[in-house]
Structure 1
């Protein structure tokens, strides 16, 4: 499980856009978005860098949460 901070994810529409961008990545098994807290959790066998790049490509800045 990887958790990311996504400052631009402010609403359900943003969360849906992010889900669409990430569901196409092989190895992603679950996506949980928490727009009020700007947090995104991704389960699966995928690297954090790949997720961050997909988020950037979708128009969202992101960083791995500690």
Structure 2
């Protein structure tokens, strides 16, 4: 099953790296692809949609229309972490 999420706050490859790493740890997630240009995260597998939405919220990348200042701040932190780990 493939599910697509239109999200906020994807700024760079660091963001994409953090999102992909975190979502691949969720039960049932087999593949994650991200299109930064249109702010979409596509997840393939047998995962629960709510689990993916909750993880994206926790990371600071909520679905469009659900952004808050705290989520935006979280996205900057996860962006920085993603930048550090994508160069490993």
Instruction: Give the TM-score category using the shorter length.
Output: 0.7 to 0.9
More displaced, 54-63 or 9-18?
Answer: 54-63
TM-score (norm 1): 0.87
Which is helix-richer, 1 or 2? 2
Match of 1:41 in 2: 42
Higher relative contact order (CA 8 A, sep 6+): 1
TM-score (norm 2): 0.67
Find the structure with the greater CA-based Rg: 2
Q: Kindly report the root-mean-square deviation, in angstroms, between the aligned alpha carbons of the 2 structures.
A: 1.1
Q: What SS does structure 1 have at the residue aligned with 2:34?
A: strand
Unaligned runs of 5+ in 1: none
Match of 1:58 in 2: 59
Which is strand-richer, 1 or 2? 1
TM-aligned CA deviation for residue 5 of structure 1: 0.5
Match of 2:17 in 1: 16
CA distance, structure 1, for counterparts of residue 45 and residue 13 of structure 2: 22
